[in-house]
Chains A and B, each alone.
Chain A
């Protein structure tokens, strides 16, 4: 079936360190892929997305490239800030664009220390 697997957290980094959060997926066809971020006490917010192979999504210094050959969509940021501390969810869209639903990974907690 369709699924998303993320690296386990928490990930603890110092400010200005390089971030990678791994995400791999299993899906039939060609799903769209997403990264969502959840700050403490809030709902999820879309961070970036990619809708086809080799697409790169980017936003707020974060990037992720849709790699079909490795079924991966790893999240990266060159220099993290304390304000990036949050839970990050990788997700894929299963089904059509009109009736599809998101399949989420388990989430990875990022803690950035000053």
Chain B
């Protein structure tokens, strides 16, 4: 299995632009998680899905952030408009039963 796949691995954009991060979970896993990691705030859970349905989005920082999971093999995290304080590494993780989570390699986002 290829593991959790995230794209792009690196993204540099200018403030105000729309950013879309993509994730392909491990086949057969029914839970998907989006995290953000920064030096200041550590690892934060933004949102997670179970069977493609958002279960808890209380970690989404504000309305500029949105996440979708249109099917079991794909999810997106969108930031519109982006701001410099959104600069971070964004991780996607999937789980067969929300017990053990398998993390992707992350997307390093820099907003100038």
Binding site for B on A (CB under 8 A): 32, 34, 41-46, 49, 89, 93, 95-102, 104, 106-107
Contact = CB atoms under 8 A, between A and B. Distances in A.
A104 B42 CA distance: 9
Tell me if B's interface is mostly helix, strand, loop or mixed: strand
Interface of B: 4, 31, 33, 42-43, 45, 48, 50, 55-56, 91, 93, 97-106
Contacts of B100: 34, 46, 49
Nearest to B53: A99
A98 B50 contact: yes
Which 3 A-B pairs rank lowest in CB-CB distance, beginning with the nearest? A43-B103, A44-B103, A106-B42
B109 to A, nearest CB: 15
A106 B43 CA distance: 7
Contacts of A101: 33, 45, 48, 56, 98
